Amino acid sequence: QSVLTQPPSVSGAPGQRVTISCTGSSSNIGAGYDVHWYQQLPGTAPKVLIYGNSNRPSGVPDRFSGSKSGTSASLAITGLQAEDEADYYCQSYDSNLSEGVFGGGTKLTVL
């Protein structure tokens, strides 16, 4: 069980907005460590979607945005498209474990 908690699944219709939460604690997100988000399309390697809590790498559409507050972070996707159907993971660091940590992952289904 991961120290970063994500909902197992979320869904939305094309064009809608969805959010994915990532809940941590005072030893990881709450300690000030950055949160990063990865998108994993079926059968492919993950790719970074959001880094440093809210920054998008070049090439990532501005439909994707990230935020962080307290011991939690969120990924928002607006204008949902069929190609967004994928698994999404948050990542941070835990000072108690002295390990890099991932959330359990969230499967996004576009209805």
Note the residues at the interface with another protein (CB under 8 A).
2, 32-34, 36, 38, 40, 44-48, 51-52, 57, 87, 89, 91, 93, 97-105
In the complex, the smallest distance separating the C-beta of residue 87 from another protein, rounded to whole angstroms, is: 8
Q: Which is nearer to another protein, 63 or 107 (CB)?
A: 107
Q: What six digits make up the tokens of 8?
A: 């197992």
In the complex, the smallest distance separating the C-beta of residue 104 from another protein, rounded to whole angstroms, is: 5
Q: Which is nearer to another protein, 12 or 46 (CB)?
A: 46
Q: Which is nearer to another protein, 67 or 79 (CB)?
A: 67
Q: How far apart are CA 67 and CA 90, in angstroms?
A: 12
Q: How far apart are CA 51 and CA 98, in angstroms?
A: 20
Answer whether 108's CB lies under 8 Å from 86's CB: yes
Q: How far apart are CA 19 and CA 39, in angstroms?
A: 14
Q: Which is nearer to another protein, 57 or 79 (CB)?
A: 57
In the complex, the smallest distance separating the C-beta of residue 15 from another protein, rounded to whole angstroms, is: 28
Q: How far apart are CA 72 and CA 26, in angstroms?
A: 10
Three-state SS at 33 = coil
